[in-house]
């Protein structure tokens, strides 16, 4: 692995310190930052507004990319594209681009693999390989921002629902989101950024105190501790009562509506008794909430099946009747295995052979 830092790993303050060590005025830092995040430049030669010597130093001291696209999949309708990237140390992460009316949403990864071990998740089966650096999180966005720009388009939303548990890589995730949200950085509004978590209670409380307007999505999947723990091993440490209390703090401090994600698994967590319990929790804690029902994307190594339409609709209807808005997420991109961790998981099943080229 290269010793030189990745350019996207530096905050604006880091750049200010660096230009100073180069004997350059402070405003050069902002110029570099603008080159990276406004102009989306990816090579030191493009920084034509910098003195030649500084440009050369940039080239010598940093690398401009850690992500090598090795595999691309398109959904049949062309609305979803997924890329598997290799990192310099050989680990892999994936990023998904979804197109929906005017939205261009990127689903990005925060870790290679994941330590949380949810039984139905392909990423969970990999275990945690490593945390991504802030720059490696940011570069996934820049990769697609550059691609979209070629057709006059841009990234409108980001969801942290790719591989990994963002709150288990807290510092790097916060730094990456800081760059993406920065008014002089990538300039994507906090309300257009959604962080999805399996429910790490202390970190949700910490996030609530960051003073940011990020959307919070909590992967719930069950409304009683026994069932939840069976699906999400880490839930043993965070009983639902504590989780809902943390969500309440998030809601009270940010005034942002919370999304609860619910992967619908046939005859496991799709019964009305679960819907009833969920309504009770949401009411008890006075949350403004929205529920996202997602039919399970079948994964090798887990026998569960997606809920049939009738059960999905009955569950959704119950929530709606009790005043809780809910969406049944269309299974977009399912034909390209756009489910969490599935492309990288596939690589393991192929015996770890390197995958080159696209499709
Ligand atoms: N670690 C975070 C974010 C990444 S997972 C989290 O768990 O929230 C993003 C979402 O995909 C989560 O809601 C997760 O439960 C869901 N998911 C994982 N595997 C899935 C599968 N096989 N089918 C449907 N949803 C799945
Ligand atoms: Fe990790 Fe999220 Fe997958 Fe659970 S669902 S294993 S937390 S990536």
Q: For the chain, which domains are there? A: 7-61 (1.10.150.530), 68-354 (3.20.20.70)
Q: Quick one: three-class SS letters along the chain?
A: CCCCCEHHHCCHHHHHHHHHHCCCCCHHHHHHHHHHHCCCCCCHHHCCCCCHHHHHHHHHHCECCCCEEEEEEECCCCCEEEEEEECCCCCEEEEEEEEECCEEEEECCCEEECCCCCCCCHHHHHCEEEECCHHHHHHHHHHHHHHHHCCCCCCCEEEECCCCCHHHHHHHHHHHHHHHHCCCCCCCCHHHEEEEECCCHHHHHHHHCCCCCCEEEEECCCCCHHHHHHHCHHHHHCCHHHHHHHHHHHHHHHCCCEEEEEEEECCCCCCHHHHHHHHHHHHHCCCCEEEEEEECCCCCCCCCCECCHHHHHHHHHHHHHCCCCEEECCCCCHHHCCCCCHHHHHHHHCCCCCCCCCC
Q: Whose CA is nearest to atom 21 of ligand 1?
A: 297
In the structure, which protein residues have their CB atom closer than 6 angstroms to any atom of ligand 2? 114, 116-118, 121, 123-124, 164-165, 198, 219, 340
Of the ligands numbered here, which is closest to the C-alpha atom of 306? 1
**CA 54 to CA 211: how far, in whole Å?**
36
Beta carbons within 8 Å of 21's beta carbon, 6+ residues apart: none
Q: Quick one: pLDDT at residue 337?
A: 53
Show which residues are catalytic: 94, 340
Q: Which residue is closest in CA terms to ligand 2's atom 8?
A: 164
pLDDT of residue 75: 85
What values do phi and psi take at 254, rounded to 5? -100, -20
One pLDDT digit (tens) per residue for the chain, 359 residues: 458 999 999 999 999 999 999 999 999 999 999 999 999 999 999 999 999 999 999 999 999 999 999 999 988 888 899 999 999 999 999 999 999 889 999 999 999 999 999 999 999 999 999 999 999 999 999 999 999 999 999 999 999 999 999 999 999 999 999 999 999 999 999 999 999 999 999 999 999 999 999 999 999 999 999 999 999 999 999 999 999 999 999 999 999 999 999 999 999 999 999 999 999 999 999 999 999 999 999 999 999 999 999 999 999 999 999 999 999 976 554 455 555 555 444 443 333 332 222 22
Q: Does the reported pTM lie above 0.95?
A: no
111-113 vs 103-107, strand pairing mode: unpaired
Q: Which residues pair with 262 in a beta bridge?
A: 293
Q: CA 258 to CA 287: how far, in whole Å?
A: 8
Query: Comparing C-alpha atoms, which of 233, 315, 302 is closest to residue 269?
Result: 315
Q: Compute the distance from residue 236 Cα to the ligand 1 centre, in Å.
A: 18
For the chain, the residue count is 359
Q: Nearest residue CA, atom 24 of ligand 1?
A: 296
- Give residues (CB < 6 A) around ligand 1: 118, 120-121, 161, 165, 196-198, 219, 261, 263, 294, 296-297, 299, 339-340
**Ligand 1 centroid distance, CA of 56 (Å):** 43
Q: Which ligand is nearest to the CA of 233?
A: 2
Q: Indicate which residue's Cα is closest to atom 1 of ligand 1.
A: 165
pLDDT for 159: 96
Ligand sitting nearest the alpha carbon of 235: 2
Cα–ligand 2 centroid distance for 117 (angstroms)? 6
């Amino acid at each position: 692995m290269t010793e030189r830092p990745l350019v996207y790993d530096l905050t604006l303050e880091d750049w200010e310190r660096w230009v100073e060590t180069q004997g350059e005025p402070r405003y050069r830092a902002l110029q570099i930052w603008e080159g990276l995040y406004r102009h989306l430049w990816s090579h030191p030669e493009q920084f034509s507004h910098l003195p030649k010597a500084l440009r050369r130093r940039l080239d010598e001291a940093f690398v401009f990319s850690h992500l090598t696209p090795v595999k691309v999949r398109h959904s049949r309708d062309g609305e979803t594209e997924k890329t598997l990237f290799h990192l310099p140390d050989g680990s892999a992460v994936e990023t998904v681009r979804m197109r929906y009316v005017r939205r261009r949403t990127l689903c990005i990864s925060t870790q290679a693999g994941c330590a949380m071990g949810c039984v139905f998740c392909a990423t969970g089966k990999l275990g945690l390989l490593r945390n991504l650096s802030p720059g490696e999180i940011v570069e996934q966005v820049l990769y697609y921002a550059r691609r979209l720009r070629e057709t006059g388009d841009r990234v409108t939303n980001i969801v942290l629902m790719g591989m990994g548990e963002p709150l288990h890589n807290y510092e790097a995730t916060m730094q990456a989101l800081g760059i993406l949200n920065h008014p002089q950085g990538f300039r994507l509004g906090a309300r257009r950024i959604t962080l999805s978590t399996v429910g790490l209670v202390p970190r949700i409380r910490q996030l609530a105190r960051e003073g940011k307007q990020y959307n919070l999505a909590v992967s719930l999947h069950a409304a009683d501790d026994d069932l939840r723990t069976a699906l999400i091993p880490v839930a043993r440490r965070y009983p639902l009562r504590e989780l809902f209390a943390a969500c309440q703090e998030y809601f009270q401090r940010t005034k942002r509506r919370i999304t609860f994600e619910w992967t619908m698994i046939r005859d496991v967590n799709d019964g009305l008794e679960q819907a009833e319990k969920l309504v009770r929790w949401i009411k008890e804690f006075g949350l403004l909430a929205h529920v996202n029902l997602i039919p399970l994307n079948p994964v090798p190594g887990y026998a569960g099946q997606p809920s049939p339409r009738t059960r999905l609709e009955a569950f959704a209807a119950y929530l709606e009747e009790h005043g809780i808005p809910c969406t049944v997420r269309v299974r977009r991109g399912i034909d390209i295995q756009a489910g969490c961790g599935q492309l990288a998981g596939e690589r393991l099943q192929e015996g770890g052979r390197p995958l080159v080229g696209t499709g």
